[in-house]
Amino acid sequence: MPNKTEYARGKQIATLLRPFWSIRARNIANRIFPHIPPDSHILDIGAGNGLIARELVKRGHRAVTLLDVIDWNISPLPLALFDGIHIPFPAKHFDIAILVDVIHHSQDEKTLVAEAARVAKSVLIVEETHERKWKNALATATDNIQFVLYNMPLAHHHRDEKDWLEFLRADLPNIKQVGKYFSHAIFLSE
């Protein structure tokens, strides 16, 4: 796990890039908000800077818990840290877990998805989808930059839409694709 100096560096960079991250957070919140029932108790797994969760709170969700393996949270919401594998909450504690651009960073993506399914009644996932090799290479380069800036984990589990659905159905048999966001697919398991 990163030390406090690395956390501070990540927060400084996130604060510097806040205008970009805020626009991205608003756009993603606009896409996922219709799929989250009103007044849901939400777990934001891999919450990063916390700005997507902040947007959901602005739209009326009062109970949003942030969870990540590193602390570069620049939102006013509290963040809990975890080991990236074992989510420290009881079964079905949350109405919905959201994972936005998280799974492809996980060292143990299968366990992470199974844990999300364990702690939440439904799971919403936004993941990059790459149909072409050059897009996969670009995504890998972007992930490497985020590693340098924020010490974000690297795993590079990139897939196309079909492969994401096949992978996710192992632990979320009812999952379906409910939307798109640029080169991302939005998946929901209820």
Residue 21, pLDDT above cutoff 60 = yes
Q: Looking at residues 32-36, what average pLDDT do you find?
A: 97
Tell me the backbone φ, ψ of residue 142, rounded to 5 degrees.
-60, -45
pLDDT of residue 81: 96
Domain residue limits, the chain: 4-189
Instruction: Write down the CATH number for the domain with range 4-189.
Output: 3.40.50.150
Which of 88, 134, 127 lies closest to 105, judged by CA?
A: 127
Enter the pTM of the model: 0.86
Res. 62 pLDDT band, cuts 50 70 90? confident
CA angle 77–88–125, rounded 5-degree value: 70
Q: pLDDT tens digit string along 109-150?
A: 999 999 999 999 999 999 988 776 666 666 666 655 655 565
Residue 163, pLDDT above cutoff 80 = yes
Residue 108: count of CB within 10 angstroms of its CB? 14
How do 79-81 and 41-45 pair as beta strands? Answer: unpaired
